[in-house]
Structure 1
Amino acid sequence: MPIPILSCDRNSKEVYSRFLSGAREDLSSATSRILPILEDVRTKGDSALFCYTEKFDGIKLSKLTLNPKEIQTNVDSKTKEAFLRAKSNIEAFHMAQKREAWSKVIDGNRLGVKYTPIPSLAVYAPGGKALYPSSVLMGIIPAKIAGVQSIQLITPPQKEGIPEILVWLTQILEIDRIVTVGGAQGIAAAAYGTESVPKSEFIVGPGNSYVAAAKSYLSGQGLIGIDSPAGPSEVCIIADATSNPKWIACDMLSQAEHGEDSSAILLTTEVSFAEKVRDELEIAFRERPKRLEMKQKAIYENSSILVFPTMEDCIWFSNELAPEHLEIQTRDNDSVFAKIEHAGSVFLGPYSPVAMGDYISGTNHILPTARGSRIYSSLGVDTFLKRVTFQEVTKESLETLYPYVKLMSELEGLDEEHGTSVKVRTKGQT
């Protein structure tokens, strides 16, 4: 059953509407299961963390936190070189996002903005098969550049010990501690704080449905800030016949490799090109069978090739879709990109597969999904900064503007105190 090739236009809602549903992971079942865990951590602190770690991970801990400086690691030199190169690129990109305080005189008064970092951050790192050390770089580096002072890594314990690559990264990034607690209980520890685990004001990082449910619930309670709500990973590719069909197929499959609920959507104007990409997908399934069932489910059930009448239609649909990742491989990439309004991160040209941004180029791979890029941005330095406005009003300006304050406060029924607080400062008042 090959991937469907669907011809449509802007009015073909019955064809493309399912891709615009903004599918998010259904966390209702997970939420009902994690609520008792969150309450136990809130009320019982460390004892709940010890209990749930033994129950879910089969490990009886003697302590909940580790000091990275006290752990010996033996990461091979080639792995170090790769991650150091990624670290350098990510730092360079995010350094350009730094904010400086500013002020200007408006109507005689000095108004301005200064930026202050959030005080503390927890970064969640899954364990076992779902090991994403690159996400540790992506979460921590912009926070460090923003000036976050207290950062801890939350990760489930492993019978063989915490993976050396994670420990080494916490060392080179100078993280305060490693909290060896996973799942919803690890998120709760960061949100509430316990005897051993300091409370964090913000948490980022991927995790399973229980982690996602805990982050979403605790954020909704105002207990911790989170990155944008997460859904299945996705890529949209705008391409024409100048593109390499095999490369396009590879890019679609690299997204399918994330999980069976991932989606990859190709937008093009040429049926013959669409057929070539479809054929390359089938060839790839035969030649690269690793995780075959998962990739096929993602491609056959959640993905599609949509053929629109014009490139303008492709751009329109991409903006409606607001994808997490957007690749543009066309005759004129820049002109297409100029018309893009909503996307988590954009990859221009044939040599910019999403995997480059996932690991090494320097942009952040923690991105909004499920059409979230219509209102959210990629994780960056701004994520960890608070904008504090200030003003210094002059005596002359206060007297000049008081009549307007008087009128407006009377209109809102707040003249007795709001209006008076300005009036008493005007000439002739005591």
Structure 2
Amino acid sequence: MIQTIDLRGTPKTPAALLAAVPRALTSVTSATDIAAELIDDVRARGKVALLDQAERLDRVRPEQVRVPDSDFADAVAELDPAVRAAVEETIRRVRLASAAQVPPMVTTTVDAGATITQRWQPVNRVGLYVPAGKAVYPSSVVMNVVPAQIAGVSSIALASPPQSRFGGRVHPTILAVAALLGVDEVYAMGGAGAIGALAYGVPDLGLEPVQIVTGPGNVYVAAAKRLVRGQAGIDSEAGPTDILVIADETADPLLVAADLVSQAEHDELAAAVLVTDSVALADAVSARLGVLAASTTHSERVTAALTGTQSAIVLVDDLLVAAGFSNAFGPEHLEIQTREPEVVLASIHNAGAIFLGAHSPVSLGDYSAGSNHVLPTGGQSRFSSALGAYTFLRPQQIVTYSREALRAVSANIAAFSDAENLPAHGDAVTARFAQD
């Protein structure tokens, strides 16, 4: 059911490996025009545009875009106790992990009377997107909100698509988790239009623009985040999910297949890739994928993902090449199930999150590990990182020089300003000593 790409005996240059990477035919670029239309519509027509888009795309017209306060209390009261317990434990773990991502303020003395202080300042307001299309993601509420709170963000707006089965309201489980985290500014809006609304604001809703937009979503959400970048910052273009597993002959083919299926059930465009130097493992995983795909709840969706151009079993000569292929792929989720996973890890440079060993599946990171599951997709882990407290922080340098410390470098400043034909730069320094 899944394609096989045989790279054994072929050139192993980074360019050759990148060319062999399987990708979905539908890309963020292909969704850009539609996303732009939806964003422009929201900017032009505000609340009415959001309502019209909800009616057309979510098959329901919400009575209210901003969730009223009463809905939060009702949602918490109705939350399944087991789900609440799971949520609260995950909040605790993500808070611990996120706190480690806040750097301390550091002051460096470069000379007598001359210091540079590095501080990390949070943005004031953020917009967090929580998808709710093929599945509902209360876990994404936790993963978005907790790092922002740990960073010290004072104003949080959350958007999630209206649900037809709940009369156009945001899914009650998402509302309940938001309430447990103290977030009360929530909007029933989804897709590219919601991203535009967060970035530019919607005056007739009282929705103020945000400085950063974060959160996962479909290809249109990813395209919208690309489009609003510049008006607001973004975490990464977190579109359809992907998983890459590096495994050798010691891996359990059932566990490998189960992990591939677990991510394939997200979306028909999800990418599931196994890279191995073992033909026997490749054959065994392929056979088990067929069985699991046929029996899983979302069989049709899983089958579409596994048979898509973005999914494959890749045969390589050795695990060093496997690591090179993974670096070229830039996986959102990377699992390493080998005899010595730490050895393979030493050659890994690009990945959103890395799961070592047979007992660290991606599902653990999706929910309860304490790591963040909002990760760069589509190869963007080659230059982007997971969502974290640092996403909402800006490093700022505070320069403090005494009069004598400035005098000590005044000649250097004058030399630079003359070399760059910007003499006023030097004059701004020498003016301070004109009376000496």
Q: Which residue of structure 1 aligns with residue 40 of structure 2?
A: 39
Q: Which residue of structure 2 aligns with residue 403 of structure 1?
A: 411
CA RMSD in angstroms comes to 2.5
Q: Percent identity of the aligned residues?
A: 34
- For structure 2, which runs of at least 5 residues remain unmatched after alignment? none
Which residue of 146, 151, 163 maps to 1:146?
A: 151
Q: Which residue of structure 1 aligns with residue 109 of structure 2?
A: 105
Deviations 1:77-111 (A, max 9, x none): 11111111111111111111122211110133111
Q: Which amino acid aligns with 1:352?
A: S
Q: For residues 370 and 184 of structure 1, do their structure 2 counterparts lie closer, same or farther at Cα, with a shift above 3 Å needed?
A: closer
Deviations 1:164-195 (A, max 9, x none): 21111111111131112223332222122223
1:328 and 1:43 map into 2 onto residues whose CA distance is: 48
| Alpha-carbon distance, 1:20 to partner | 3.1
Q: Which residue of structure 1 aligns with residue 356 of structure 2?
A: 348
2:61 and 2:378 map into 1 onto residues whose CA distance is: 38
Residue 274 of structure 1 contacts residue 305 of structure 1 at CA under 8 Å; is this kept in 2? Answer: yes
Residue 118 of structure 1 contacts residue 201 of structure 1 at CA under 8 Å; is this kept in 2? Answer: yes
Correspondence list, 1:304-343, <5 A: 304-343=312-351
Q: Which amino acid aligns with 2:8?
A: C
Correspondence list, 1:8-407, <5 A: 8-9=8-9, 11=11, 17-20=18-21, 25-28=26-29, 30-57=31-58, 59-68=60-69, 71=72, 72-73=74-75, 74-108=78-112, 109-159=114-164, 160=166, 161-193=169-201, 194-196=203-205, 197-219=207-229, 222-286=230-294, 288-301=295-308, 302-407=310-415
Q: Which amino acid aligns with 1:38?
A: I
Q: For residues 10 and 116 of structure 1, do their structure 2 counterparts lie closer, same or farther at Cα, with a shift above 3 Å needed?
A: farther
Q: For residues 129 and 151 of structure 1, do their structure 2 counterparts lie closer, same or farther at Cα, with a shift above 3 Å needed?
A: same
Q: Which amino acid aligns with 1:150?
A: S
The 10-residue stretch of structure 1 (344-353 or 21-30) with the greater mean CA deviation from structure 2: 21-30
| Alpha-carbon distance, 1:350 to partner | 0.6
| Alpha-carbon distance, 1:303 to partner | 2.2
| Alpha-carbon distance, 1:51 to partner | 4.1
Deviations 1:349-373 (A, max 9, x none): 1101101001111101111122211
Q: Which residue of structure 2 aligns with residue 423 of structure 1?
A: 430
Q: For residues 163 and 63 of structure 1, do their structure 2 counterparts lie closer, same or farther at Cα, with a shift above 3 Å needed?
A: closer
Partner-residue secondary structure (3-state), 1:347 = strand
1:387 and 1:408 map into 2 onto residues whose CA distance is: 26
1:55 and 1:255 map into 2 onto residues whose CA distance is: 28
Residue 22 of structure 2 contacts residue 312 of structure 2 at CA under 8 Å; is this kept in 1? Answer: no
| Alpha-carbon distance, 1:46 to partner | 2.9
Partner-residue secondary structure (3-state), 1:326 = strand
Residue 217 of structure 2 contacts residue 239 of structure 2 at CA under 8 Å; is this kept in 1? Answer: no
1:55 and 1:294 map into 2 onto residues whose CA distance is: 23
TM-score by length of 1: 0.91
1:175 and 1:201 map into 2 onto residues whose CA distance is: 17
Partner-residue secondary structure (3-state), 2:307 = helix
| Alpha-carbon distance, 1:129 to partner | 3.3
Residue 269 of structure 1 contacts residue 307 of structure 1 at CA under 8 Å; is this kept in 2? Answer: yes
Q: Which amino acid aligns with 1:265?
A: V
Deviations 1:206-236 (A, max 9, x none): 33343333222122xx222222123432111
Q: For residues 394 and 149 of structure 1, do their structure 2 counterparts lie closer, same or farther at Cα, with a shift above 3 Å needed?
A: same
TM-score by length of 2: 0.89
Q: For residues 279 and 198 of structure 1, do their structure 2 counterparts lie closer, same or farther at Cα, with a shift above 3 Å needed?
A: same
Deviations 1:251-300 (A, max 9, x none): 122222222222222222222222222222233234x1433333233223
2:419 and 2:22 map into 1 onto residues whose CA distance is: 44
- For structure 1, which runs of at least 5 residues remain unmatched after alignment? none
The 10-residue stretch of structure 1 (261-270 or 401-410) with the greater mean CA deviation from structure 2: 261-270
Deviations 1:343-392 (A, max 9, x none): 11000011011010011111011111222112111110100001111111
The 10-residue stretch of structure 1 (254-263 or 50-59) with the greater mean CA deviation from structure 2: 50-59
Q: For residues 353 and 273 of structure 1, do their structure 2 counterparts lie closer, same or farther at Cα, with a shift above 3 Å needed?
A: same
2:188 and 2:64 map into 1 onto residues whose CA distance is: 8
Q: For residues 324 and 62 of structure 1, do their structure 2 counterparts lie closer, same or farther at Cα, with a shift above 3 Å needed?
A: closer
1:40 and 1:265 map into 2 onto residues whose CA distance is: 38
The 10-residue stretch of structure 1 (132-141 or 25-34) with the greater mean CA deviation from structure 2: 25-34
Residue 245 of structure 2 contacts residue 274 of structure 2 at CA under 8 Å; is this kept in 1? Answer: yes
Q: For residues 43 and 285 of structure 1, do their structure 2 counterparts lie closer, same or farther at Cα, with a shift above 3 Å needed?
A: closer
Residue 249 of structure 1 contacts residue 277 of structure 1 at CA under 8 Å; is this kept in 2? Answer: yes
Q: For residues 265 and 156 of structure 1, do their structure 2 counterparts lie closer, same or farther at Cα, with a shift above 3 Å needed?
A: closer
How many residues are matched? 425
Partner-residue secondary structure (3-state), 1:312 = helix
Residue 25 of structure 1 contacts residue 231 of structure 1 at CA under 8 Å; is this kept in 2? Answer: no
Q: For residues 334 and 16 of structure 1, do their structure 2 counterparts lie closer, same or farther at Cα, with a shift above 3 Å needed?
A: closer
Q: Which amino acid aligns with 1:217?
A: L
Q: Which residue of structure 2 aligns with residue 4 of structure 1?
A: 4
